[in-house]
């Protein structure tokens, strides 16, 4: 039996990008270009790491943010790192760089040489959403009121 090709779920991708825009705007607050907001992550009294948001660029219609995390596993694995573009006119945020890899297609044939999942772009944006949501729910910043 032949498998059908993966079809990009644009509605889910756009929804994820829209909610990530709102999450990032809330976490960034009034950050200026070049500034970093560090959010201490804890859960059930245990320190999990620090979520860092650095505003790299800001223009009338777009901003670029670097999202990184340091934590308890830093000596064992490479810390997650993303570059995210915020599109202010359409109120969406999209992952454009992950672990130094740029440009992600809406879908990939599987298997492929880089072993991307068919819905790699959607998965990266969902990961960003979970990361930001965790920061909002469990994060504490010295220069912001309580995030939760």
pLDDT at 47: 83
d(CA 135, CA 148): 9
Tens of pLDDT, residue by residue over 46-95, are: 888 899 999 999 999 999 999 998 886 666 667 788 999 999 999 999 99
Q: Which domains does the chain have, with CATH numbers?
A: 10-140 (3.30.1300)
pLDDT at 132: 94
| Order of all β-strands in the sheet with 101-102 | 101-102, 92-98, 81-87, 62-71, 46-58, 36-43, 139-140
To the nearest whole percent, how much of the chain has pLDDT over 70?
70
The owner of tokens 């573009």 is: 85
Q: Which long-range contacts (CB under 8 A, 24 or more apart) does 104-113 make?
A: 106/8, 106/10, 106/13, 107/6, 107/7, 107/8, 109/5, 110/6
Tens of pLDDT, residue by residue over 83-138, are: 999 999 999 999 998 865 666 665 556 565 655 555 678 888 998 999 899 889 87
What is the pTM for the complete model shown?
A: 0.78
> CA–CA distance from 128 to each of 20, 109, 145 (Å)?
7, 23, 22
pLDDT higher for 38 or 116? 38
pLDDT tier at 19 (50, 70, 90 boundaries)? Answer: very high
**Burial category of 110 from C-beta neighbours within 10 Å (exposed 0-12, middle 13-18, buried 19 and up):** middle
Closest to 27 in 3D by CA, of 14, 43, 40, 46: 40
pLDDT at 113: 63
């Amino acid at each position: 039996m032949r498998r059908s090709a993966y079809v990009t779920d644009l509605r889910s991708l756009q929804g994820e990008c829209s909610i990530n825009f709102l999450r990032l705007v809330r976490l960034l607050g009034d950050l200026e270009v070049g500034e970093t907001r560090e959010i201490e992550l804890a859960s059930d009294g245990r320190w999990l790491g620090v979520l860092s948001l650095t505003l790299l660029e800001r223009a009338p219609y777009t901003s670029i943010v670097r999202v990184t995390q340091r934590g308890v596993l830093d000596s064992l694995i490479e810390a997650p790192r993303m570059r995210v573009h915020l599109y202010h006119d359409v109120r969406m945020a999209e992952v454009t760089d992950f672990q130094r890899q740029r440009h992600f297609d809406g879908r990939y044939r599987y298997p492929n040489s880089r072993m991307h999942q068919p819905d790699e772009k959607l998965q990266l944006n969902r990961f960003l959403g979970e990361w930001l949501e965790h920061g909002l729910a469990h994060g504490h910043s010295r220069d912001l009121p309580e995030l939760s």
